[in-house]
Amino acid sequence: MSTEFIIAAIVTIVGLTTPILLAALGELVVEKAGVLNLGVEGMMLMGAICGFGATVSTFNPWIGILGAAAGGALSSMLFAVLVLELNSNQVATGLALTIFGTGLSSLMGLSYVGFIAPVFGSIFPASLASDPYLKVIFGYSPIVYFALAMVPIVAWFLKSTRAGMILRAVGENDLSAHSIGYSVKGVRYAAIAFGGAMAGIGGAYFSMVITPMWAEKMTAGRGWIALALVVFAGWRAGRLLVGAYFFGILMALELYAKAAGFSFLPSQFWAAMPYLMTVVALSVISMRDRSGGNAPACLGKPFLPST
């Protein structure tokens, strides 16, 4: 295997991983605040269409990214109002959000079918971005660096900032957080909006970077993978990065195994690998660490203060 080959493979893996990583980071924060939002797929689609629409309307991908974040965050607010104000069931509301996002993005996208946008690619000079070796560092869309930067930022925020501590307190014990005067709802609104924005940017990675176009349901189920990765990571940002790339590598492996003509196993085996190995890997991790990760204690439960 040549260096060029490995570098090209890394570039592919980064492309496969980035959108899932973004959406999963957002969902991680949401879940840390004690809310389970299963609407990631819907929010990603809303981000994909809003990002694409904003880009082709303004010819400015940066505005596109803002549009994607806004699209994801706005659609997440629908979920937030329902689960926070009206205490609706989080699992069902999240699934309804996915149906809603799928439908609305398709409807909004009707007028964008067949449009193309310039790729929101590397902003480094071509001598760096297209160099067969250096592209492994410089050859990515700004969204990739943003996603990677957000990993330590989220980790630091949750661990070391006051706001992060409050957020975790709200997720671990909403009633006592409430009793010492924190706004449980306020924190959760913010977390859900952040999760929506991140999912939206993740969705926009599809419609602005990988294949700069709009197509119905173009996220093809990646939102569900993001949900699973949060669990895989045991609600830790660092491990999320590892998990997302682990999954991305396995997804790439499927394609390499098929393209290289590995015929000693049925092709379905390679396609099942990422999912199977995620289960196996988490099982092995759990064998050593029986805590089951640090799932927030209030995850998915309604907040019902007595006063």
Partner 1 sequence: MRIKLEKRPEPSTLMAFATPIASVLLTMAIGVVVFDALGIKGEKAVIDIFLTPLLSSYKWQDVAVKAAPLIIIALGLSIGNRAQVWNIGAEGQYVIGALAAAGVGIAAGGAGGGLIITLMILAGILGGTFWAMFPAFLKTRLNVNEILTSLMLTYVALQVLGYLVGGPWKDPNGRNFPATAPLQPDQTLPILFPGTTVHLGVAIAVVLPFVFWLIMSRSVFGFQIRVVGSAPDAARHGGFDAKQTIWLSLLIGGGMAGLAGALEFAGSLKAINLGFPSGYGFTAIIVSFLGRLNPIGCLIAGIVLAVTYVGGQVAQTTVHIPNSTAGIFQAMMLFFILASDILIRYRVRFVGSPKAAPIPAAGE
Partner 2 sequence: MAIITRRTFMQAAGAAATLPVLGNKAFAAEKIKIGFIFLGPVGDYGWTWAHNKGREQVEKELGDKVETVYVENVQEDASAIPVIRDLAQQGCKLIFTTSYGYMDQTVAVAKEFPNVKFEHCTGFKRADNVATYNSKFHEGRAVLGTIAGKMSKTGTLGYLGSYKVPEVVLGVNSFALAAQKQNPNAKVKLVLIDSWFDPPKEAAATETLINLGCDIVTTHTDSPGPLQILEQKKLYGFGQGADMSRFAPSAHLTAIEDIWGPYYVERVKMILDGSWKSSDTWDGMKEGTVVISPYNKVIPDDVKKMADDIQKGYKDGSYDIFKGPIYDQAGTLKVKEGETMKLADLAVIDWFVKGVESAA
Figure out which of the listed residues 134, 148, 228, 242 binds partner 1, where binding follows CB under 8 A: 228
Residue 291 Cβ, how far from partner 2 at the closest point, in Å?
34
| Residue 93 contacts partner 1 per CB under 8 A | yes
Per-residue contact string for residues 229-268; x = within reach of partner 1 by CB under 8 A: --xx---------------------------------x-x
* Number of residues near partner 1 (by CB under 8 A): 50
* Number of residues near partner 2 (by CB under 8 A): 47
Residue 298 Cβ, how far from partner 1 at the closest point, in Å?
12
Contact stretch for partner 2 (CB under 8 A) within 86-94, 142-150, 247-255, 295-303: 247-255
37 closest CA partner among 164, 224, 278: 224
Residue 86 Cβ, how far from partner 2 at the closest point, in Å?
28
Angle, in degrees to the nearest 10, between helices 40-58 and 222-232? 120
154 closest CA partner among 165, 164, 142: 164
Q: Residue 6 burial by CB count (10 A; 0-12/13-18/19+): exposed, middle or buried?
A: exposed
- CA distances from residue 195 to 30, 59, 70, 190, 247 in whole angstroms, order as listed: 6, 26, 11, 9, 21
* 23-61 per-residue burial string, b: 16 or more CB within 10 A, e: under 16: bbbbbbbbbbbbbbbbbbbbbbbbbbbbbbbbbbeeeeb
Figure out which of the listed residues 9, 10, 11, 106 binds partner 1, where binding follows CB under 8 A: 106
Q: Which residue lies nearer to partner 1 by CB, 58 or 179?
A: 179
Question: Which residues of this protein are in contact with partner 1, per CB under 8 A?
Answer: 38, 78, 81-82, 85-89, 91-93, 95-97, 99-100, 102-107, 110, 216, 224, 227-228, 231-232, 266, 268-269, 271-272, 274-276, 278-279, 282-283, 286-287, 290-293, 295, 300
